[in-house]
Structure 1
Amino acid sequence: MSRIAPAQPPHAPAIAEALERIMPPGLEPLVLFRTMARNPRIFAKLFAGGLLDKGALGLRQRELVIDRTTARLGCEYEWGVHVALFAKRVGFGPVEIAATITGDGAAGCWSPPEQALVALVDDLVDQRTIGDGTWQSLTAHFDEAQILEAIALAGYYHTISFLCNGLRLPLESYAARFPDARSP
């Protein structure tokens, strides 16, 4: 049971419009979004800061950063939603999905640029900074705009993970689940 009950329709017009815009057709708005709607200011700020639009990173790169960040922070809710909605679209099969949870950036399923992104997330989660070796790898594969976006994604989904875990949001029925062993 969530610590704060999700808002129920009818929603304020701005919230209803945002929910309709962000959700795929046929899917009920996420428990996370409906819970954030309990505070229209936080809802608006989170949506304004969202990074799911077209950015400097490709979709696969974006989802790798999101999935690795949420997995490393133990946020099964957000990880599961992203895996369910995006994994197939970005070419993540069972090996890649498992590698977002366990293993290090050198996993053979990742290209060298993807390995650099995994190392970035791991450095930020473990050390709250980016090590020199990781930085060298990042700059070998990405430009400044892409690196800034990757850092912002990790930070944004750190916040989302805190919200989901802190509120103890119930998992979405269609979302992927962590396998039994989930320690990276």
Structure 2
Amino acid sequence: MDGKFPPRIENGLCGPPRIEPLGPEELGEAGWQAMNRARDLTGYPKDAPLHPFLATMCRHTEMFERYMEFGMNFLLNSAIAPRDREMVILRTGWLCDAPYEWCEHVAAGLREGLTRQEIDWISEGPSAPGWDERDRALLRAVDELHGNATISDEVWAVLAEHFDERQLLELPV
């Protein structure tokens, strides 16, 4: 790589998992129930190979069930547009040097309408050229939450011009 990425992403981009996914023979009854529920919720084909993330999460089926309930509700019923959601996830993954999150969500972002140029800009942050006021405010909110655990009044005011109350409640989550 060319040094553009943070060290953890540069060195571990989509590298081997820290916790190995379970194989089909290792899932057990609870694991298969969780896997099939996740596949149903996500539309992941049952005849496809086990998704590594889902197979890893099956190592702790109780947590996985709760995670899927929350995460899928958030994904399927979110007031936030999919493109905006992916911007927020990608910027968070970037700031946290999270290679898995970044790799998975680059593809998701492209599916949800982000361009490759915008994904490059996400790595640069809200000061990258090309963002409109709304997108810049989204990225600034992520940066502020990451850095200070709060969103400034200035950024909140810009967000409030573009997002309704339900979207504003979801954004920090």
1:97 CA displacement: 0.8
- Written as runs of structure 1 = structure 2, the 5 A alignment for 1:20-99 is 20-21=39-40, 22=42, 24-25=44-45, 28-50=49-71, 51-84=74-107, 86-99=108-121
Which amino acid in structure 2 is aligned with residue 143 of structure 1? Answer: D
Query: Is 1:148–2:163 an aligned residue pair?
Result: no
Q: Aligned to 1:46, what secondary structure does the other structure show?
A: helix
Answer whether contact 2:110 2:116 (CA < 8 A) is retained.
Answer: no
Query: Is 1:135–2:156 an aligned residue pair?
Result: yes
1:91 CA displacement: 2.5
Structure 2-normalised TM-score? 0.76
Q: 1:132 to 1:145 in 2, by over 3 A?
A: same
Which blocks of at least 5 consecutive residues in structure 1 are unaligned? 153-184
Greater helix fraction, Structure 1 or Structure 2: 2
Which amino acid in structure 2 is aligned with residue 149 of structure 1? Answer: E
Distance 2:163 2:80 in 1: 9
The sequence identity of aligned pairs, in percent, is 32
Distance 2:21 2:130 in 1: 38
Structure 1-normalised TM-score? 0.72
Which blocks of at least 5 consecutive residues in structure 2 are unaligned? 1-15
1:80 CA displacement: 0.8
Instruction: State how many pairs are aligned.
Output: 150
Question: Greater relative contact order (Cα 8 A, min sep 6): structure 1 or 2?
Answer: 1
Which amino acid in structure 2 is aligned with residue 100 of structure 1? Answer: I
Distance 2:68 2:22 in 1: 16
Q: Tell me which stretches of 4 or more aligned residues in structure 1 moved more than 4 Å.
A: none
